[in-house]
Amino acid sequence: MLDLRAALMQVPIAVVLTRGPDHTAELRNPLAEEVLAASDERSLLDHVYSTGLPHLQLERPVTSKRDGRQEERFFNVGYEPIHDAARMVIGVLIYGVEVTEQVRARHRLSFLVPTGPALLEASLERSDVLEEVARIAVPDLGDLCVVDLLQSDGSLRRETVAHRDAPRVELEEALRRFGPAMTQGSEVLGDTGAASAMITPLRARGRVLGTLSVASAERDRYSRDDLTLLEALATRAGLALDAAALHEAEREARDAADHARARSSGLLSVTTALSRALTASEIGGVVIAQGVALLGADAAAVFLQSDDPRELELLRATGWPGEVLEQYQRVPLDGGRPLADAVLSKEPIWLESRDEWALRYPRSAPVHSGGGYSASTVLPLVIEDRRLGGLVFSFVRSLEFSHDDRECLLALAGQCAQALDRARLYEVERQARRRAERQRDREAFLAEASLALDATLSQDERLQRLADLAVPRVADWCAVHVVRDSAVKTLAVTHVQPEKVLLAEELVRRYPPDLAATRGAVNVIRTGKPELHEQISDATLVALARDEEHLALLRDLGMTSAMVVPLRVRDRSVGALTLVTAGSRERFSREDLAFAEELARRAALAVDNARLYEEQRNIARTLQSSLLPHALPRIPGVTAAARYLAAGTGNKVGGDFYDVFAAGDAWSVVIADVCGKGASAAALTALLRYTVQAEATHDPRPTVVLTRLNHALLRHLEQMEGRFCTALYGRIFPVEGGIRMTLAGAGHPPPLLVRRCGTVETIPAFGTMLGVYEDPKLHDVDVSLGSGDTLVLYTDGVTEARGPEGFFGERRLEAFLACNADCPANDLAERLAATLLAFQEGLPRDDIAILVVQVAS
Amino acid sequence: MTPLEVCPEHVGDVSIVTFLGEFDLAVIEMAERELRLVEEREPAVLVLDLSGLEFLDSSGVRVVLQADDRARRDDRRLAVLLGSGIAQRLFALLGLLDRLELISDRADVLPG
């Protein structure tokens, strides 16, 4: 027979049997000894015993020692009344069935069911996920939770540490040495205060992301179930972290795309803005403004290669303190400065912090950091391997120039360089066009000047005209100095502002040219070498001034640039031309000097021509006057007047001549025209004059005088060169109430007799011209003049005078005389001469001689 | 001003030089040169046609007289056609109408 008692003692169920109202334990098996404390259930036992109703207590927690350590266990504990045959309660059966595993499983479930979605849904931010993991793990899974995540380089990086108490760094350090395992009271943790720990990999999609560790100060804290729980948490956390990583990657990609889009649209707007910028300065402004906006730079500057290949000059800048800018107006292209290095090497320089500055450029670092800047970049402006300059951006913050930043900056520099090169080409083209236009203007000016200078003018008039022409087209003021009688004289001064002319004249009057001067007009005349003073500084004026007053006058003229060129003819300086610019006008260049020299060369030639012409005319005048009577003799009852107009330029002796002289008991008048002009004509005229005077004394009869004159001319046939001569000769005999005249003509225009009443008669004194034929046909004509009658003798220059209306002609002459019949002789001669001049617009084409003989009224 | 035009024509051994325009000091060298070229052909008759001149002065007359002089020396015949204009008036004034052979029409000298 089975021993029931022994069996009860062995079952894995806690069993207690009590008897009587005192609940005396009849049986208590070992498990019951371990987990059921008899005293605690007294009231329950009373209740069951007295009522006879069973009672079940579910999942009673019991702390027991198992394997030497305290453990929480759960039991379903039942209380069953025990009846006797009379259905009377005589005792209570207490049994406890262990449900620890079930409870734990349910706990796990209840923990993880909300944990998983909570982790996944809480946030897509990695930091939130990690925080949540720590929050779940501490304190439920331990005192400390650590998450280490695997980095792209294979290392682990500690992301989260959560501790129930203060941070326990040592503990983390110790944990870091674990593999994924459970350690129950290892010596590794001995120093850290952790008695047990678990570590498990964080995984997602088959990839290990890192580790999740928990630790507890409690020894033997963890069971396999806890590890399972931790793994479950790790799985959820891994998925959440993966989602967060994906999200982060996506966000980064989106940010990068947004950034790239912003940059490229920024660069596009740079391109647009640059396409509108034409000058280097405008381009500099655009690049600086756009670059600063695009990159968030705090200061920027554009430098360009200056005319001197060994230095750069500042084009535009922003954000720099004034004193720094002043210092960096010009930057020598030598090593040891980031700007020079970048430009010379044609490679960008990136300086991300003050330390880097100090390390790489100790010399310029203080200036840079003094301005409050940390990071900087210097980008060379290069096009087709040509260095144009450099671009500087500086940042107050330290900065890591990302690949994108660098690409963006290099693109900006590239655009800037292209725009600058385009501007350079544009400028070159503009200058070429301006030069061409200037050249054209100059040639036009020279042509105009040559024409103007060749007009019939005296030397001085020509030089004055030169000065008038030069202002304002070539210069703002102009002075002409000439050599006269071994002295230098200021001949002409012209200024674009009339009031300055007075000032300039005042200057010349008070401070005449200094013959010892080492520069200026006198020096140029002496050396024959031109001077170009591209820029007249105040220092120049100070050096030039002879005293304070002189300096003040010089300053008042406001000269900015000047050139002095010699007026030279046949290696002889005849003067100097000074051209000066004032105010805003462009300064004179070498090209201008060459132009001025050409102008001076032409002017000098024109002036010299004028001089030669004047000399020639003077000689002609002298000679002509020697051939004409200085004064007409007094004839009783008669007034005589004469006019002689030299043809055109008057530089050649004409062949016309007249004379009035006393011969015997009467007076002779003669008017003649020798064919041709010049010296040989003059010689013949002289011969004619003296022959007529000589012959008139022998036999004053007109035909005789003219015949003898013909013979005389024929004797000089060689000299005549086929020339001939026309003449009119007459004798004046005073008679009662007037005069009687005998006249003979030899191919000469017949004289006109103007009666006092205004009638005009042609005196038929016709005959053969002289100097060709041995036997000219000549005859005497007698004519009487009464009171107020006038006889007008003239040469063909009168009737052949030509104007816009054609020839003056006999008819106009007769009409003129008819209208002026009552005019006194001298007035008549004067009016006729003036009329003829006016008719020919001041330029007689042929010589004109007029001789008027009038009987006094 | 109409510049002088000198137009030589040759019909058989007759050369006719027609002067048109203005014949004055300014053009005598040119006129002289042209005339000499014609004279080199040694025409039996040289006619100087001055009837179409708009202007003539003593310089032009001198050219004609010198040509006449050369013709006489070379025993050539020279005739002048004055027309009724300025040449006629000037030659008349100078008393030259009976000094030169004057013709009133080219037909006077042309053969046939």
Q: Average pLDDT of A229-237?
A: 82
Whether residue A186 is predicted with pLDDT greater than 50 in this model: the reply is: no
Note the pLDDT of residue A751: 97
**Alpha-carbon torsion A418, A423, A429, A435, what sign?**
negative
Phi-psi region of A210 (alpha: psi -120 to 50; beta: other; left: phi over 0): left
Query: In whole angstroms, what is the distance from residue A848 CA to residue A655 CA?
Result: 10
Q: Average pLDDT of A155-159?
A: 82
Instruction: Please tell me which residue, A553 or B89, carries the higher pLDDT value.
Output: B89
Which of B62, B72, B97, B98 is most worth mutating to test chain A (most A CB atoms within 10 A of its CB)? B62
Q: Determine, for residues A773 and B25 on separate chains, whether the beta-carbon distance falls below 8 Å.
A: no
Note the pLDDT of residue A651: 60
Question: Any idea what DSSP says for residue A721?
Answer: T
Residue for token pair 């350590």: A69
- A-proximal residues of B, 46-105, CB under 8 Å: 55, 57-59, 61-62, 65-66, 69, 93-96, 99
**What is the identity of the amino acid at A779?**
H
Q: Determine, for residues B58 and A776 on separate chains, whether the beta-carbon distance falls below 8 Å.
A: no
Which of A684, A775, A800, A840 is most worth mutating to test chain B (most B CB atoms within 10 A of its CB)? A800
How far A648 CA lies from chain B's nearest CA (Å)? 13
Note the pLDDT of residue A174: 55
**B28 CB within 8 Å of a chain A CB:** no
Note the pLDDT of residue B82: 95
Note the pLDDT of residue A181: 47
Closest Cβ opposite residue B99 in set A749, A773, A846: A773
Radius of gyration of chain A from its Cα atoms, rounded to whole angstroms: 65
pLDDT digits (tens, 9 = 90+) for B25-84: 888 889 999 999 999 999 999 999 999 999 998 889 999 999 999 999 999 999 999 999
Q: Determine, for residues A723 and B57 on separate chains, whether the beta-carbon distance falls below 8 Å.
A: no
Q: Where are the domains of chain B?
A: 5-106
Phi-psi region of B76 (alpha: psi -120 to 50; beta: other; left: phi over 0): beta
Query: In whole angstroms, what is the distance from residue A475 CA to residue A494 CA?
Result: 10
CATH number of B5-106: 3.30.750.24
| Nearest alpha carbon to residue A399 among A386, A412, A388, A408 | A408
How far A747 CA lies from chain B's nearest CA (Å)? 4
Q: Tell me whether residue B1 is exposed, middle or buried, using C-beta atoms within 10 angstroms of its C-beta: 0 to 12, 13 to 18, 19 or more.
A: exposed
Question: Any idea what DSSP says for residue B72?
Answer: H
Instruction: Show residues of chain B in contact with A767, CB under 8 Å.
Output: 95
Residue for token pair 């001076």: A600
β-strands A781-786, A738-746: how paired? Answer: antiparallel
| 3-class DSSP state of A586 | coil
Whether residue A67 is predicted with pLDDT greater than 80 in this model: the reply is: no
Q: Determine, for residues B99 and A777 on separate chains, whether the beta-carbon distance falls below 8 Å.
A: no
Looking at chain B, which residue has its C-alpha nearest residue A725? B58
Q: Average pLDDT of B100-111?
A: 86
Whether residue A38 is predicted with pLDDT greater than 60 in this model: the reply is: no
Residue B39 makes CB contacts below 8 A (sequence gap 6+) with: B46, B67, B70, B74, B76
Q: Average pLDDT of A355-377?
A: 81
Q: What are the φ/ψ torsions at residue A502 (nearest 5 degrees)?
A: -60, -40
How far A631 CA lies from chain B's nearest CA (Å)? 29
Q: Average pLDDT of A647-652?
A: 64
Note the pLDDT of residue A185: 41
Highest mean pLDDT (candidates A168-172, A453-457, A564-568, B87-91): B87-91
Looking at chain B, which residue has its C-alpha nearest residue A765? B93
Q: Average pLDDT of A335-351?
A: 87
**What is the identity of the amino acid at B12?**
G
Note the pLDDT of residue B71: 94
CB A782 within 8 A of CB A742: yes
Question: Strand pairing partners for A843?
Answer: none
| Nearest alpha carbon to residue A679 among A622, A629, A630, A631 | A622
**Interchain CB contacts (distance < 8 Å): A and B:** 51
pLDDT digits (tens, 9 = 90+) for A578-636: 888 887 667 888 888 888 888 888 888 887 777 777 777 776 777 777 778 888 999 99
Average pLDDT over chain A reads: 83
Q: Determine, for residues A724 and B93 on separate chains, whether the beta-carbon distance falls below 8 Å.
A: no
Largest Cα span, chain A: 218
Question: Any idea what DSSP says for residue A458?
Answer: -
Q: How many residues would you count in chain A?
A: 857
Instruction: Show residues of chain B in contact with A724, CB under 8 Å.
Output: 58, 61-62, 65, 94
Instruction: Show residues of chain B in contact with A772, CB under 8 Å.
Output: 65, 99
Whether residue A119 is predicted with pLDDT greater than 70 in this model: the reply is: no
Q: Determine, for residues B93 and A767 on separate chains, whether the beta-carbon distance falls below 8 Å.
A: no
| Nearest alpha carbon to residue A627 among A569, A700, A689 | A689
Tokens of A32: 């019951």
CB A836 within 8 A of CB A844: yes
pLDDT digits (tens, 9 = 90+) for A269-291: 777 888 788 788 888 888 888 88
Across chain A, how many H-helices and E-strands are there?
25, 33
Closest Cβ opposite residue B62 in set A724, A777, A846: A724
Range with the lowest mean pLDDT among A38-42, A352-356, A425-429, A626-630?
A: A38-42
Across chain B, how many H-helices and E-strands are there?
3, 6
CB A184 within 8 A of CB A178: no
Q: Determine, for residues B57 and A726 on separate chains, whether the beta-carbon distance falls below 8 Å.
A: no
Quick one: what percent of chain A has pLDDT higher than 70? Answer: 92
Closest Cβ opposite residue A772 in set B59, B65, B93: B65
Whether residue B85 is predicted with pLDDT greater than 60 in this model: the reply is: yes
CB A108 within 8 A of CB A229: yes
How far is the first Cα of chain B from the last one, in angstroms, to the nearest whole number?
Answer: 38
Domains plus CATH for chain A? 4-98 (3.30.450.20), 104-250 (3.30.450.40), 278-428 (3.30.450.40), 455-618 (3.30.450.40), 628-855 (3.60.40.10)
pLDDT digits (tens, 9 = 90+) for A287-303: 888 888 877 888 899 99
Closest Cβ opposite residue A747 in set B25, B66, B94: B94
Query: In whole angstroms, what is the distance from residue A198 CA to residue A230 CA?
Result: 8
Question: pLDDT category, A33, cuts 50, 70, 90?
Answer: confident
Query: In whole angstroms, what is the distance from residue A553 CA to residue A557 CA?
Result: 7
How far is the first Cα of chain A from the last one, in angstroms, to the nearest whole number?
Answer: 207
Query: In whole angstroms, what is the distance from residue A228 CA to residue A220 CA?
Result: 16
Query: In whole angstroms, what is the distance from residue A781 CA to residue A509 CA?
Result: 67
How many CB atoms neighbour CB A457 within 10 A?
18
Instruction: Please tell me which residue, A63 or B101, carries the higher pLDDT value.
Output: B101
Q: Average pLDDT of A569-575?
A: 81
Range with the lowest mean pLDDT among A101-105, A280-284, A551-555?
A: A101-105
Cα angle, residue A614 at apex, residues A609 and A618 outer, rounded to 5°: 150
Range with the lowest mean pLDDT among A12-26, A216-230, A678-692?
A: A216-230
Whether residue A188 is predicted with pLDDT greater than 50 in this model: the reply is: no
| Nearest alpha carbon to residue A745 among A733, A758, A728, A732 | A728
Q: Tell me whether residue A171 is exposed, middle or buried, using C-beta atoms within 10 angstroms of its C-beta: 0 to 12, 13 to 18, 19 or more.
A: buried
Residue A592 makes CB contacts below 8 A (sequence gap 6+) with: A532, A563
Q: What are the φ/ψ torsions at residue A793 (nearest 5 degrees)?
A: -105, 140
Q: Determine, for residues A800 and B57 on separate chains, whether the beta-carbon distance falls below 8 Å.
A: yes
Residue for token pair 């690049």: A287
Range with the lowest mean pLDDT among A180-189, A237-246, A350-359, B10-19?
A: A180-189
Looking at chain B, which residue has its C-alpha nearest residue A796? B57
Whether residue A310 is predicted with pLDDT greater than 90 in this model: the reply is: no
Instruction: Please tell me which residue, A441 or A636, carries the higher pLDDT value.
Output: A636
ipTM computed for the complex = 0.91
Instruction: Show residues of chain B in contact with A807, CB under 8 Å.
Output: 55
Instruction: Please tell me which residue, A535 or A220, carries the higher pLDDT value.
Output: A535
Instruction: Please tell me which residue, A701 or A365, carries the higher pLDDT value.
Output: A701
Note the pLDDT of residue A835: 92
**What is the identity of the amino acid at A652?**
K
β-strands A55-66, A69-83: how paired? Answer: antiparallel
Which of A674, A675, A748, A841 is most worth mutating to test chain B (most B CB atoms within 10 A of its CB)? A675
Highest mean pLDDT (candidates A202-211, A325-334, B52-61): B52-61
pLDDT digits (tens, 9 = 90+) for A771-817: 999 999 999 999 999 999 999 999 999 999 988 888 899 999 999 99
Question: pLDDT category, A652, cuts 50, 70, 90?
Answer: low
